[in-house]
Amino acid sequence: MTKLKILVAEDDAINRKLFSYILKDISRDLLMASNGVEAINIYKEHKDIDLILMDIRMPEMDGYEATHRIRQMNKDIKILALSAFSLSSEGGKAVRNGFDDYVAKPVFKDVLMKTIAKYFEI
């Protein structure tokens, strides 16, 4: 089993706590950002991040713009979109805009783990 270095970009503090709980068994290091600007700054300091969970709608800079900027630095990093808007069209838009995959909120542990397992041996 691979332990991952994960960045969670999520503006809601309760959701950040939930991700800490859900991801504790598969992460060797878990970093948190509350907006897209923070996510970019954390990524610049930790280029060895394996996976980013990126909320689409955040203050200061949304997940689309943050993902676009991170992709300019690393086109291969795995980035999963998170959104409370569970429309299938939102998932398609996310993938067309640089995300590797999409997970609807509220996030269920089994769904998130299956999605992560598409890209990593966890």
pLDDT of residue 92: 66
Fold of 4-109: Rossmann fold (3.40.50)
- pLDDT tens-digit map of 40-99: 999 999 999 999 999 999 999 999 999 999 999 999 999 999 987 655 556 667 877 889
pLDDT of residue 89: 59
Q: Where are the domains of the chain?
A: 4-109
Please list the residues that pair with 4 across neighbouring strands: 27
Query: Could you tell me the pTM of the whole model?
Result: 0.93
Evaluated on CA atoms 21, 84, 32, 42, the torsion sign reads positive
Band (119; pLDDT cuts 50, 70, 90):
very high
Going by C-alpha positions, the residue among 86, 75, 62 that lies closest to residue 9 is 62
Instruction: Give every CB contact of residue 22 below 8 A, 6+ residues apart in sequence.
Output: 107, 109, 112
Residue 37 pLDDT > 80, yes or no? yes
